[in-house]
Structures are given as C-alpha cells and as structure tokens.
Amino acid sequence: MIVSRRKVLAGLGGAGLAMPYIGRAVAADYTWKFGHGFSATHPVNIFAVEAAAQIRQDTGGKVDIGVFPNSQLGGDSDLLSQVRSGAIDFFSTGGLIFANLVPIAAINGTGFAFKNADAVWPAMDGELGALIRAGFDKAGLYAFEKIWNNGFRQITTSKKPIKDPTDLANFKIRVPVSQVYVSLFKALGASPTSINLSDVYSALQTGVVDGQENPLVVAETSKFYEVQKFCSRTNHVWDGSWVVTSNRTWNGVPDELKTKVAAGFNTSAIKQRDAVTKLNDDLAGLLKQKGITFNDTDPAPFREVLKKAGFYAEWKAKYGEEAWSLLEKATGQLG
C-alpha cells in the first residue's frame, strides 16, 4: 500500500518534533532567522526545524533559530541579499541558484553527470564540495560541510513523454533562473524559459510552457500533477541545497557554539538525504495514483548530444581544469 507524503514525512522527520523542549523563558544569546523558499512539508524544512531544535538543546538554549519556509521572508534573490547583509542569519537553496554569486556552486548541475546518489556523496562531501565551499567563502558566505539533498530532477510534460533527445526538439520547458539550465536544454534542442517556481503552475496550466523539470517532491508539493500527464525519469541533474550564513555572522560566534551549530545542521543533513531518497521512491507511486504516467530513459543518447553540441567543453572552460577534474573523478569522463 502506498502511504501519503504527509505520513512519510511525519515518520522521517518525527524525531525532531519529539525532541525535549527547552523553554522559551531561557533567554538566548543568539536569536537567529533561517529563511528558505521550500514548502513547510518539504524535507528541507522538516529537517531544518529538527536541526534548530537539536541546536537549541545542545547549546542549553543559547542559540534559538526560527525557521521560515515558503518564502515568508522573501524570494531566493531577496533571501540571498538578506543573508549577505545580516538581515537574516541562515538561508538554504540549490547550488544552481547560488551560482549567480558563486559560479562553482552550479557544477553539480552539469547535465547527465552523476549516474546515481552513490556517485554524488563522495564528491560533495569530499574534494569537490570543499572547492565549492571555498567559492562561498570568497563571496563572504560560510557554507556548512554537508549539502542537503533535493534529489535528481525529472521532466514532466502535458502532451507526450520524453523518451530520447529528439522528443525535446523545440519543446517549451520551464527551467529555473539559472544559466546552466538554459544552456543544458538549449544544447538538447529544447526551448527553455526561466520562470520563478511560484509562477510555474499557472505557466503549465495556460500553456506558456508544455513541461517543467524538478525533483518529484517539488512536482508533488506544487501539484503539477493537476496540469501534467507524463513524468520522464531522466535524472538529468542532481540538485542539492547548501545551508549558508554570512562570514560576518559566523565569525562573531564563539568556537564552542560554532561546533554545536555546525553539528546540528550537518547531522540533520545526513538524515534529510536518506529521507529524500525514500520520499522520491514513495512519491512515484503516489503520483501514478494521481494520473501521472512514468517512463525511464537511457542517459547515453542525451550525453552524446551534449558532447556534440559542445556543452561539456563550454562548462569545463568556465569551471576550470581543477574543478572539472574533481567532477570527472566522481562521474567518469564527460567531454
């Protein structure tokens, strides 16, 4: 029997909710705001709340972090500006969104690079992740060591499934406001349009675009199944979210508290990764029940098109030899 997303999330994130409560009467030395654009039921939010509770407990109430989902404090661009200025203290979004400020943060979004999650974590927890975090540091941001899991991105459509690259010819697809996504789908022959996530449902409903690409959890929480008929499991990009604060904020925190805050976020990140993997497996069944037809694709033809179009050569030149060699250490040769 397929369980609902709410039950899945309740089971996976319940540990945080059951944590001993530290009374708010204890005055915190640091009262911080954590803003993001994910829904309240998204695993990023559920485990961010868990991390905040754990951090408050571990610091004896000295650190109190309020988590604000659903772009309550602003959209991604606003939140990035706010965390840099200190108006908020923590922010989380995908590396491809951060790329406007930290170009190397988009390297995990190289099309059809990672074959599966087993290839992702050694790279993002290892040398490649360290290089990306150094890029954040140069931009005045501190990124915690463990990146959170958004999952592999899939393509949903309203008229036909995507079986091979020829199905993307002139296909009107929504992509995030990100240069690498536009570049990827142009190289595959599609017609990509950058639209903010909050406007995607109406764009699909009115035919401004014929499809979109996102992890299944976004397709379900945004109810795209109401205006889409097919889901093609292309796994074309693995996406993850960094939790960041400003160097100015982080450098002002005593080392003892830094250790406990970092441990809270990093421990929750590991649990969130597993939760998203399980959730995506369960959501495939749930979306089928809601009328979505699934198909799987072979990545090899897509990679070949990208290679011939010069996509890999272009992005290798942009990221540089060091970063690209670390990526290919995890993925195998791309270009």
Find the mean pLDDT for residues 44-69.
97
Query: 174 lies in a domain?
Result: yes
- Tell me, yes or no, whether 49 lies in a domain: yes
- Do 223 and 168 lie in one domain? The reply is yes
**294 and 209, same domain (yes or no):** yes
- Is 20 part of a structural domain of the chain? yes
Q: Structural domain of residue 172, as residue ranges?
A: 154-236+290-331
Q: Are residues 26 and 143 in the same domain?
A: yes
CB 173: neighbour CB atoms within 10 A?
21
As a whole number of angstroms, the distance between CA 229 and CA 28 comes to 50
Q: 198 lies in a domain?
A: yes
Express each pLDDT in 272-330 by its tens digit.
Answer: 999 998 888 899 999 999 999 999 999 999 999 999 999 999 999 999 999 999 999 99
3-state helix, strand, coil in the chain (%, to 5): 50, 20, 30
Q: Domain check: are 130 and 205 in the same one? A: no
Taking 80 as the threshold, does the pLDDT of residue 116 lie above it? Answer: yes
* Residues 220 and 165 placed together within one structural domain of the fold: yes
Contact 266, 288 (CB under 8 A): no
Q: What does the pLDDT look like over 185-212, one tens digit per residue?
A: 999 999 999 998 889 999 999 999 999 9
Do residues 106 and 96 make contact, with C-beta atoms less than 8 angstroms apart? yes
Residue 294: phi, psi to the nearest 5? Answer: -100, 150
Residues 219 and 83 in one domain: no
Of 51, 59, 131, 132, the residue nearest 94 (C-alpha): 132
Triad 235, 239, 242: Cα angle to 5°: 170
Q: Check if the beta carbon of residue 200 is closer than 8 Å to that of residue 175.
A: no
Give yes or no: residues 309 and 215 share one domain: yes
Tokens describing residue 38: 């994910």
User: Strands 191-194 and 63-68: what pairing?
Assistant: unpaired
> Both 216 and 133 in a single domain?
no
Cβ neighbours, 10 Å, residue 142: 20
- Looking at the fold, whether 212 and 310 belong to one and the same domain comes out as yes
Percentage of residues of the chain with pLDDT beyond 70? 92
| 124 & 169 share domain | no
The residue ranking higher by pLDDT, 33 or 118, is: 33
Residue identified by tokens 């079986």 is 163
Residues 258 and 318 in one domain: no
Residue 317 lies in a domain: yes
User: How many structural domains comprise the chain?
Assistant: 2
Is residue 110 in some structural domain?
no
Phi, psi for 81 (deg, rounded to 5): -65, -40
Residue 185 within any structural domain of the chain? yes
**CATH code of residue 25:** 3.40.190.170
Choose the final residue of a domain: 272, 288, 304.
288
CA–CA gap between residue 81 and residue 75 (Å, rounded): 10
Distance (Å) of CA 335 to CA 63, 313, 320: 47, 6, 13
User: Tell me, what's the pLDDT at 100?
Assistant: 86
Q: 12 falls in which pLDDT band (50, 70, 90)? A: low
User: Could you tell me if residue 109 is inside a domain?
Assistant: no
